[in-house]
Amino acid sequence: MKILVTGGAGFLGSRLIQALLQPEALDLLPGHGRIVSLDLAPYPYEDPRVESVIGDIADPACLARLVDAETTVVYHLAAVVSGQAEADFDLGMRVNLDATRVLLEACRQRAKAPILVFASSLAVFGGELPDKVPEDLAPLPQSSYGAQKAMAELLVGDYSRKGYVDGRVCRLPTISVRPGKPNAAASSFASGIIREPLAGLPSNCPVPLETRLWLSSPDTVIANLLHAARLDGQALGLRRTLNLPGISVRVGQMLDSLERLAGLEARARVGDEPDPRIERIVCSWPGDFDIRRPLQLGFGVDRDFDAIVAAHQRFMKTQ
């Protein structure tokens, strides 16, 4: 048995692989099972059960080789992030749309359709939004990243309907607090305004304090990605796409949490220089969702943002 993780060298992919190697995930990856990480960079840890393949996710030959008869589960996390896909339209199309199709075609060639967990995003939404986004709201992307993810969702849906793959689409909330460095995602600040001050560094908040964000901690997202592969595909019915649970928090409330848990000094490290490019993208995203269905299906959710900050503080001590 084999699990393929695209984007396995990234923050989320490498954390997911570590979780899959734990005894708690033996149902997904038995002791003799292997994980293949496909990414432009090597999987950052050493483990005899992980094969790190450096390759192009949009290369059909590479995918045809990596998705073989042993492959039971595919996690498709590789993506060009929102800011970058907006700046380089063609790159975004190639990685976010074309590569997904190449991967689905590789799955289709298998006698037994693998389970595919595809990481999509709340960035598929935009325009005038209801206060709480219902399950059946039409995507209206205001970024190429969102449009590419929405198209890829439809691909996964139709390949699943045809029985070519057993797909589950998880629209991830914005993840906060991501460890590491800022990246080109428009939502990068949602981690930066907590992570940098906690590390004694300055950070900037480019959007108004009243901006609502839909957030999930890394631990909750990882647990939910594991759960997505464990679900009975039939339980999803016709709707293969799920808005993963998150918590609805205003940016000002995030900074209040920072001050409560790390003091005024930490809070004072966050500047407030607006960035219209980021604001335009981030403020087009919904700040709250109806999550009754994913909760019924057993997905988890963070308690509140204080708990998320505290978890990141604990994580910092382990580094």
3-state class (DSSP) for residue 265: helix
| Angstrom distance (rounded) from CA 132 to CA 285 | 11
| Angstrom distance (rounded) from CA 60 to CA 284 | 34
Taking CB under 8 A as the rule, does residue 140 contact a second copy? Answer: yes
218-230 vs 11-20: helix axis angle to the nearest 10?
Answer: 60
Taking CB under 8 A as the rule, does residue 127 contact a second copy? Answer: yes
CB atoms within 10 A of CB 60: 15
What is the pattern of x (binds a second copy, CB under 8 A) and - over residues 210-239? ---------------------------xxx
Taking CB under 8 A as the rule, does residue 283 contact a second copy? Answer: no
Active-site residue 45, yes or no? no
Taking CB under 8 A as the rule, does residue 161 contact a second copy? Answer: yes
Nearer to a second copy, 155 or 255 (CB): 155
What is the pattern of x (binds a second copy, CB under 8 A) and - over residues 6-45? ----------------------------------------
Among 55, 157, 233, 300, binds a second copy (CB under 8 A): 157
Query: Which residue type does 100 have?
Result: T
> Residue count at the site for a second copy (CB under 8 A)?
24
Taking CB under 8 A as the rule, does residue 60 contact a second copy? Answer: no
Among the listed ranges 34-42, 54-62, 150-158, 178-186, the one in contact with a second copy (CB under 8 A) is 150-158
Least Cβ distance, residue 317 to a second copy (angstroms):
43
| Angstrom distance (rounded) from CA 76 to CA 58 | 12
Nearest alpha-carbon partner for 278 in 207, 182, 196 = 207
What is the pattern of x (binds a second copy, CB under 8 A) and - over residues 70-89? -------------------x
What is the pattern of x (binds a second copy, CB under 8 A) and - over residues 170-199? ------------------------------
Nearer to a second copy, 169 or 222 (CB): 169
Considering only residues 261 through 280, tell me which ones interact with a second copy, judged by CB under 8 A.
none
Say if CB 217 and CB 308 are below 8 A apart. yes
Least Cβ distance, residue 150 to a second copy (angstroms):
5
Nearest alpha-carbon partner for 144 in 158, 129, 123 = 123
Of the candidates 43, 45, 75, 145, the residue annotated as catalytic is: 145
Q: What are phi and psi of 4, to 5 degrees?
A: -100, 130
Nearer to a second copy, 51 or 135 (CB): 135
Least Cβ distance, residue 85 to a second copy (angstroms):
10
Least Cβ distance, residue 149 to a second copy (angstroms):
10
Taking CB under 8 A as the rule, does residue 294 contact a second copy? Answer: no
**Burial class of residue 285 (count of CB atoms within 10 Å of its CB; 0-12, 13-18, 19+):** buried
Nearer to a second copy, 4 or 150 (CB): 150
Nearest alpha-carbon partner for 135 in 295, 250, 282 = 295
- Residue for token digits 């450096």? 54
Per-residue CA distances from 221 to 29, 215, 228, 317 (Å) = 19, 10, 10, 21
Say if CB 229 and CB 169 are below 8 A apart. no
**Burial class of residue 200 (count of CB atoms within 10 Å of its CB; 0-12, 13-18, 19+):** exposed
Say if CB 244 and CB 302 are below 8 A apart. no
Active site residues: 145
Q: Site residues (CB under 8 A) for a second copy?
A: 89, 126-127, 136-142, 144, 147-148, 150-151, 154-155, 157-158, 161-162, 237-239
